Amino acid sequence: TRAWASDYCNRPPPAAELRELAGRVRGELLKDDRVGSLVVVLSPTPTGSAFDLRLSAVPVDPRLGPFDLTLAVTSASIVIEAIAEAA
């Protein structure tokens, strides 16, 4: 949701805050019983005005393969940049 995004955009966030946010995102997504494992990485832009949120997920269902998802997050929007089968 964009409400939390505005707290982290438009300023260079300290690394500790980004780690905390990555942990919060991971914790929320792991509440979904379809998710077996998940890695969350946040990468801010140099100015701190936005960041990329990269997820690498492995579903519980063995018929579904692992996938990577990259979102571009600004204070105004969250956009899917890429989704692909994990290598």
Question: Tens of pLDDT along 40-79?
Answer: 999 888 877 788 899 999 999 999 999 999 999 887 888 9
Look-up of token digits 């991971």: 26
**pLDDT on residue 58:** 95
How many C-alpha atoms does 33 have within 13 Å on its Cβ side?
A: 0
**pLDDT band at residue 2 using 50, 70 and 90 as cut-offs:** very low
Which of 51, 63, 52, 54 is CA-nearest to residue 84? 54
pTM exceeding 0.85: no
pLDDT at 4 over 70: no
Q: What percent of the chain has pLDDT over 90?
A: 49
| Distance (Å, whole) CA 87 – CA 75 | 31
